[in-house]
Amino acid sequence: MKRLSAYLIAAIAIAAAGCDSNIPETGTINNALVSEVVLDDFLASGLTLETGDVVSLPQYIKYLPEDATNTAQQYESDNTAVATVDDAGTLTAIGKGNCTITVYIGAEGVFSEFPVTVNEKAAIAITSLRFLKESEDYELAATETADLRRLLSIGSASLTEDATEAVLFESSDPAVASIDEDGILTPHKLGKITVTAKAAVSQVNPATIDIGIYKWNITEYERFEGDANGEQAAIEGENWYWEVTASQNPLPDVDGRNNSLTAMIDGRQIVERYGGVNDATLKNGTAFCLCCPGRNTGGVNLSGESTTTYESWFTINMKQSKKVNYFRISNISTHNGDVLVRYKGFTEILGSNDGSTFTKIAENISFENAITTDNGSTYNRETANIEIPVSEYQYLKFLMLGTTCYGPLGKTGGSAQIEEFYMGYQEKVYEE
Ligand SMILES: [Ca+2]
């Protein structure tokens, strides 16, 4: 039989009294005191565990005599960095090493102990590494960090669990972009690098991905003389570089929008979103408006036209063929009430150099995501540059079939209104 020293018995008794333990004072219930703590062989021979393993101890612990009534158990680990045991007797393997677990039963200091050895949990090996893309580009000005581990496919030796073996990431030029142990890439300057991912131990082929850190070099085309200087087009006698034609002629007369074929290329923004009355000085700004099929707006009656097959379009004649790979739209306000009068996409964009024979450049271009802001109560006035396949034509035609391109979120107004429309060519630059 093992007993604590008298000093320790006293300490336990004080601790028990201090926390209202259910351990009765010796002899107050009966005289059947615990005389021996008996460990199953499972425990007595010592436990060998892996970090994270959990064992419930009480089922493996008995005491003598069997009719003892004061049988409260207490547990003690002499190294809680290796293993801990809670009040319910649940042992948890914490870290690599050896420790001794002591089990006390009753108030007499009777105990037994057993050794525990904890080993590091064996990692689940990596069996393959592959990036899901061959290359990826990040805009320097717009990227704080990028998680490349999310682009990494990691094969596991386990059928049911992910590999836990470490992946070692390496950048071919950390001055351009560094990468940390979690695969988080941080761009620092323009350039191109290769990131390699290797398994820490397993002999598998490393994965590589080419990373470009770029800035945009943007050429936006002037629509009238002075446009590049931020001027507004003159009301009379302007030197227009662009010309617009449209499927509707005349255009709907929407109050206060000063609608015309130059309204979306004149540098004049809408001042008052509620509109009012059109005016010769264009003091409320201008917006190019097309009546929505199925509606009767501003003198254009399309109420009998199909909302699925009627074709609306506008064509921009740039007067010479130009490389274009983006457009951008400025809307009449950020107010959610004006979302009704927006475009959310184009069914097709076509190009031509003679103005009559058009070739499809892109189809089903949606920019609905460029309209709604995070909170959903206001909307972006101006979209970002919306990328389209690069083309080089003099005429670009923007086609809207039925109402599919009118108004996001299923909302459609009597017209769709573009305050300003821009096009240009942008390319990624990887060197200063
Ligand atoms: Ca305008």
Q: Cβ atoms within 10 A of the Cβ of 303, count?
A: 11
pLDDT at residue 44 tops 70: yes
CA-nearest of 136, 165, 170 to 150 is 136
pLDDT at residue 347 tops 50: yes
**Residue 382 — very low, low, confident or very high, per pLDDT cuts 50/70/90?**
very high
pLDDT in tens, 95-130: 999 999 999 998 888 999 999 999 988 889 999 999
Using the mean position of ligand 1's atoms as its centre, give its distance from the Cα of residue 235 in Å. 12
The structure's pTM equals 0.68
Using the mean position of ligand 1's atoms as its centre, give its distance from the Cα of residue 384 in Å. 17
Higher pLDDT pick, 28 / 331: 331
pLDDT at residue 410 tops 80: no
Using the mean position of ligand 1's atoms as its centre, give its distance from the Cα of residue 151 in Å. 43
Tokens matching residue 155: 């094969």
So what's the pLDDT on residue 336? 84
d(CA 184, CA 165): 17
Bond from prior residue into 250 cis (ω within 30 degrees of 0): yes
Mean pLDDT value across residues 56-71: 92
pLDDT in tens, 161-199: 999 999 999 999 999 999 999 999 999 999 999 999 999
So what's the pLDDT on residue 341? 92
> Any residues with CB less than 8 A from the CB of 65 and at least 6 apart, and which?
32, 34, 35
CA-nearest of 256, 407, 421 to 342 is 407
So what's the pLDDT on residue 374? 63
pLDDT in tens, 265-288: 999 999 999 888 899 999 999 999
d(CA 30, CA 251): 103
CA 101 to chain centre: 47
What is the three-class DSSP state of 301? strand
Identify the bridge partners of residue 210 per DSSP, sorted by sequence position: 135, 194
Using the mean position of ligand 1's atoms as its centre, give its distance from the Cα of residue 327 in Å. 15
Q: Cβ atoms within 10 A of the Cβ of 368, count?
A: 14
**Residue 340 — very low, low, confident or very high, per pLDDT cuts 50/70/90?**
confident
The answer to whether the beta carbons of residues 390 and 324 sit under 8 Å apart is yes
Mean pLDDT value across residues 300-316: 96
So what's the pLDDT on residue 95? 96
Q: At 76, give phi and psi (nearest 5°).
A: -145, 130
So what's the pLDDT on residue 159? 95
pLDDT at residue 327 tops 50: yes
Using the mean position of ligand 1's atoms as its centre, give its distance from the Cα of residue 284 in Å. 10
So what's the pLDDT on residue 8? 42
Higher pLDDT pick, 313 / 14: 313
pLDDT in tens, 4-38: 444 444 444 444 444 444 554 554 545 688 999 99
Mean pLDDT value across residues 308-314: 96
Using the mean position of ligand 1's atoms as its centre, give its distance from the Cα of residue 376 in Å. 25
Bond from prior residue into 408 cis (ω within 30 degrees of 0): no
CA-nearest of 41, 75, 80, 34 to 58 is 75
The answer to whether the beta carbons of residues 66 and 33 sit under 8 Å apart is no
What are the strands, taking DSSP E only, across 52-162?
A: 54-56, 61-64, 73-77, 83-85, 90-93, 97-105, 110-119, 126-131, 135-139, 146-147, 152-156
DSSP 91: E
d(CA 126, CA 124): 7
Using the mean position of ligand 1's atoms as its centre, give its distance from the Cα of residue 200 in Å. 59
**Residue 375 — very low, low, confident or very high, per pLDDT cuts 50/70/90?**
low
pLDDT at residue 372 tops 60: yes
Using the mean position of ligand 1's atoms as its centre, give its distance from the Cα of residue 317 in Å. 17
So what's the pLDDT on residue 31? 67
So what's the pLDDT on residue 404? 92
Tokens matching residue 402: 């039925």
d(CA 177, CA 210): 12
The answer to whether the beta carbons of residues 221 and 428 sit under 8 Å apart is no
Using the mean position of ligand 1's atoms as its centre, give its distance from the Cα of residue 350 in Å. 23
Using the mean position of ligand 1's atoms as its centre, give its distance from the Cα of residue 173 in Å. 47
Mean pLDDT value across residues 306-321: 97
Using the mean position of ligand 1's atoms as its centre, give its distance from the Cα of residue 382 in Å. 13
The answer to whether the beta carbons of residues 35 and 105 sit under 8 Å apart is no
So what's the pLDDT on residue 9? 42
So what's the pLDDT on residue 1? 44
Share of the chain above pLDDT 70, in %: 92
Using the mean position of ligand 1's atoms as its centre, give its distance from the Cα of residue 270 in Å. 7
The answer to whether the beta carbons of residues 431 and 229 sit under 8 Å apart is no
241-250, 310-319, 406-415: least confident range: 406-415
pLDDT in tens, 130-166: 999 999 999 999 999 999 999 999 999 999 999 999 9
The per-residue DSSP string of 3-71 comes to: B--HHHHHHHHHHHHHTT-S-PPTTSS-S----EEEE-HHHHT-EEEETT-EEE-GGGEEEESTT-S--
d(CA 389, CA 278): 37
So what's the pLDDT on residue 408? 83
Q: Across all residues in the chain, what is the average pLDDT? A: 91
So what's the pLDDT on residue 202? 96
The answer to whether the beta carbons of residues 213 and 135 sit under 8 Å apart is no
The answer to whether the beta carbons of residues 107 and 26 sit under 8 Å apart is yes
d(CA 417, CA 340): 9
The per-residue DSSP string of 188-245 comes to: -SSEEEEEEEEESSS--PPEEEEEEEEEEEEEEPPSBTTGGGTPPPPSSS--BS-EEE
So what's the pLDDT on residue 193? 98
Strands 177-179 and 184-187: antiparallel
